Amino acid sequence: MTNARQALGAYGERLAEANLVAQGMVVVDRNWRCPDGEVDLILRDGDAVVFCEVKTRRTATYGPPAAAVAGAKARRLRRLAAHWLATTRVRPRDVRFDVVAIVLGPDDAAAIDHIRAAF
């Protein structure tokens, strides 16, 4: 991955985090990694633990960013969530998988779409 793509992804994750915290969620972990992959954000929303994938694009030319979180990506996020829960021994009342899709306009204004319970 190029430095520009990494910077765009990191910027999007910061925007998503600020947006979710403003909604009352509490960040539990950021960029949690294990040998199987990474979870962008892990948050608490009341009694639920939320595993959040953030997708950031400069344009929607190739479709909405959230469309990239389907199939294999969703299955991998579920496996990573199970691994995180087993590792931390956290036993939430509910588990949810959210997606935050961000498209940056030409002036870097962000259009943020928070999809709760995306899958």
Element (H, E) at 40: strand 37-45
Average pLDDT for residues 24-32, to the nearest whole number?
98
In the chain, the number of structural domains is 1
Q: What is the pLDDT of residue 105?
A: 84
Inter-CA distances, 118 with 86, 89, 93, Å? 22, 24, 18
Query: What pTM value is reported for the model?
Result: 0.91
Query: What tens digit of pLDDT does each residue of 78-90 get?
Result: 999 999 999 998 8
Evaluate if residue 47 carries a pLDDT over 90: yes
Average pLDDT for residues 106-113, to the nearest whole number?
87
The domain in which residue 60 lies consists of 3-115
Evaluate if residue 1 carries a pLDDT over 70: no
CATH number of the domain where residue 43 is located: 3.40.1350.10
